[in-house]
Amino acid sequence: MTALLSIRDLSVAYRGNGREALKNINLDVAAGERIAVIGESGSGKSTLALVIAGLLPPSARIEGHIDWQTTEFRSSHSFAPPSVLPEMSGRTEGAKDRQPKFVPLGGRDIGLVFQDPSASLDPVMTVGKQIAEVAHTHLGLDWPQAFARAKTLLERVRLPDPDAAMHAYPHQLSGGQKQRVAIAAAIAASPKLLIADEATSALDTIVQAEIVSLIRQLVAEDGMTLLFISHDIALAAELADRIAVFRHGELVELGTTAQIASAPHHVYTRALLDAHIGLDTEPMLRRAGASV
Amino acid sequence: MSSPLLAVSGLAKGYHRGGKAIAAVDNVSFAIGPGETLALAGPSGSGKSTIARLVLRLVEPDAGRIAFEGDDFLALNGAALRARRARLQMVFQDPLAAFNPRATVARVLNDPLRIHGIASRAERPRRIVALLERVGLSPNLASRAIHEISGGQRQRVAIARAIATKPSLIVLDEAVSALDVSVRGDILKLLLDLQTKERIAYLFISHDLGVVRAIAHRVVILDAGRITESGDARAVINAPQSAIGRELVAATPKLHRTTAP
Amino acid sequence: MSVLRRFLRTPEAIAGAIILAALFAMALSASLFFPGDPQAIAGPALLPPFQDWGLPLGTDRLGRDVLAELFHGSRTSLAVGLAAAAAALVIGAIVGTLAGFAGGLVDEVLMRITDAFQTVPSFLLALAFVSVVGPSLGVVVVAIALGAWTGPARVARAEVLSIRERDYVAGARVIGMHPLEIAFREVLPNALPPVLALSSVIVAAAILTEAALSFLGLGDPNRVTWGGMIAEGRTVLRTAPFLSVIPGVALVLTVLGVYLAGEGVVETTAVRRSLS
Question: For chain C, which domains are there?
Answer: 3-27+63-275 (1.10.3720.10)
pLDDT at C262: 86
- Picking from B197, B211, B257, B258 by the largest number of A CB atoms within 10 A of its own CB, the best residue to mutate is B257
pLDDT at A95: 39
Q: Is the pLDDT of residue A136 over 60?
A: yes
Helix or strand or coil: residue A16? coil
Least confident of A54-63, A100-109, C190-199: A100-109
Q: Could you tell me if C220 lies within 8 Å of chain B, comparing CB atoms?
A: no
Q: Is the pLDDT of residue C29 over 60?
A: yes
Total domain count, chain B? 1
Q: Could you tell me if B89 lies within 8 Å of chain C, comparing CB atoms?
A: yes
Q: Which residue has the higher pLDDT, C213 or C53?
A: C213
H helices then E strands: how many in chain A? 12, 9
A vs B: CB pairs below 8 A = 127
**Percent of all residues in chain A with a pLDDT value above 90, rounded to a whole number:** 66
Split at pLDDT 50, 70, 90, the class of A81 is very low
- Contact of A26 with A9, CB cutoff 8 Å: yes
User: Is residue B180 in some structural domain?
Assistant: yes
pLDDT at B153: 95
Q: Could you tell me if C193 lies within 8 Å of chain B, comparing CB atoms?
A: no
Q: How many CB atoms lie within 10 A of CB C155?
A: 20
Check B102 against C177: CB less than 8 A apart: no
Chain A's closest residue to B193, CA to CA, is A285
Say if domain A33-56+80-93+105-275 classifies as CATH 3.40.630.10. no
Query: pTM for this one?
Result: 0.85
Render pLDDT for B65-94 as a digit per residue (tens, 0 to 9). Answer: 999 999 999 999 999 999 999 999 999 999
Residues of A with Cβ-Cβ distance to B37 under 8 angstroms: 285
Q: Could you tell me if C210 lies within 8 Å of chain B, comparing CB atoms?
A: no
Spatial distance between the Cα atoms of A279 and A275, rounded to a whole number of angstroms: 13
pLDDT at B15: 86
Question: B241 is in which domain, residue-wise?
Answer: 6-98+168-251
pLDDT at C79: 92
**DSSP E strand boundaries for chain B:** 6-17, 20-32, 37-41, 63-68, 71-72, 88-91, 169-173, 201-206, 218-223, 226-232
Q: Could you tell me if C170 lies within 8 Å of chain B, comparing CB atoms?
A: yes
Chain C's closest residue to B166, CA to CA, is C175
Chain B's closest residue to A263, CA to CA, is B260
pLDDT at A290: 44
Mean predicted lDDT score pLDDT of chain A: 86
The amino acid present at A237, given as its one-letter code, is A
Q: Which residue has the higher pLDDT, A280 or C115?
A: C115
What's the CATH code of the domain at B183?
3.40.50.300
- The pLDDT of A20-26, averaged and rounded, is 93
Spatial distance between the Cα atoms of C102 and C84, rounded to a whole number of angstroms: 27
The amino acid present at B8, given as its one-letter code, is V
pLDDT at C185: 94
Split at pLDDT 50, 70, 90, the class of C5 is confident
Q: Is the pLDDT of residue A76 over 80?
A: no
Where do runs of H (alpha helix) occur along C2-136?
A: 3-7, 11-33, 66-102, 104-119, 122-133
pLDDT at A87: 42
List chains adjacent to chain B, taking adjacency as at least 3 C-beta pairs closer than 8 Å. A, C
Between B217, B237, B257, which is nearest A273 by CB?
Answer: B257
Mean predicted lDDT score pLDDT of chain B: 93
- Contact of B137 with B153, CB cutoff 8 Å: yes
- The pLDDT of A178-203, averaged and rounded, is 93
Q: Is the pLDDT of residue C125 over 90?
A: yes
- Contact of A7 with A33, CB cutoff 8 Å: no
User: Is residue B147 in some structural domain?
Assistant: no
**Percent of all residues in chain B with a pLDDT value above 70, rounded to a whole number:** 98
